[in-house]
Amino acid sequence: MSADQDGGSKPFDPLGPFRGMRDAYMDAVSKAMVEAVNTEGYARATGAMLDNTLAVSAPLREAMEKSMLQVLERLSLPSSQDFATLADRFTNLEMRLDDMDAKLDRIEKQTHAASPATDEQPAKSPVQDPKAEAEPPARKKSAAASKPSTQKTSPRKRTSGRKAI
């Protein structure tokens, strides 16, 4: 293997012919298996196997779930269903917050556009400096102060929910 990498002359490999035979054999088996799994028989067999597994496990699973639910109820603890419902409500809340965030963005943008041109910021470029967007307002301000004429700053000030990875 290392001789192959070096690109030099290959030393005699006594196992070479066996490797060749092995590869040819595996290739043939591989092709046969690909054809075998692509048959109705294989689909029927795996389907039946899955059905049987589910059928056998279903009563056990149901019994487990029922007893778990009873235990949780007695202990006044929420069930997984309760958590699922709660998660659903959280997601709805997240989406509403996201919509509100977008609306605030829009209002902020409109307010900025409508305000008299006291601050001589350059027009918003389609492609902005990501650092200007990512930095918190205080740091943004100092950065802008250091490079007043060239730094493009975003009109947005809220930077919530952004984490460097």
Binding mask 53-92 for other proteins (x = CB under 8 A): -x--xx--x------------------x--xx--xx-xx-
Q: How far apart (Å, rounded) are the C-alpha atoms in residues 49 and 56?
A: 11
Neighbour count for residue 143 (Cβ, 10 Å) = 15
Residues 6+ positions from 125 with CB-CB distance below 8 Å: 152
Q: How far is the CB of 130 from other proteins (least distance, A)?
A: 6
Q: How far is the CB of 86 from other proteins (least distance, A)?
A: 8
- The window from 26-34, 67-75, 111-119, 140-148 that contacts other proteins (CB under 8 A) reads 26-34
Residues 6+ positions from 3 with CB-CB distance below 8 Å: 9, 10, 11
Binding mask 109-138 for other proteins (x = CB under 8 A): ---------------xxxxxxx--xx----
Q: How far apart (Å, rounded) are the C-alpha atoms in residues 82 and 143?
A: 48
Radius of gyration of the CA atoms of the chain, in A: 33
- For residue 163, which amino acid is it? K
- Interface residues with other proteins (CB under 8 A) are 1-2, 5, 19, 26, 29-30, 33-34, 37-40, 42-44, 46-48, 50-51, 54, 57-58, 61, 80, 83-84, 87-88, 90-91, 94-95, 98-99, 102, 105, 124-130, 133-134, 152, 156, 161-165
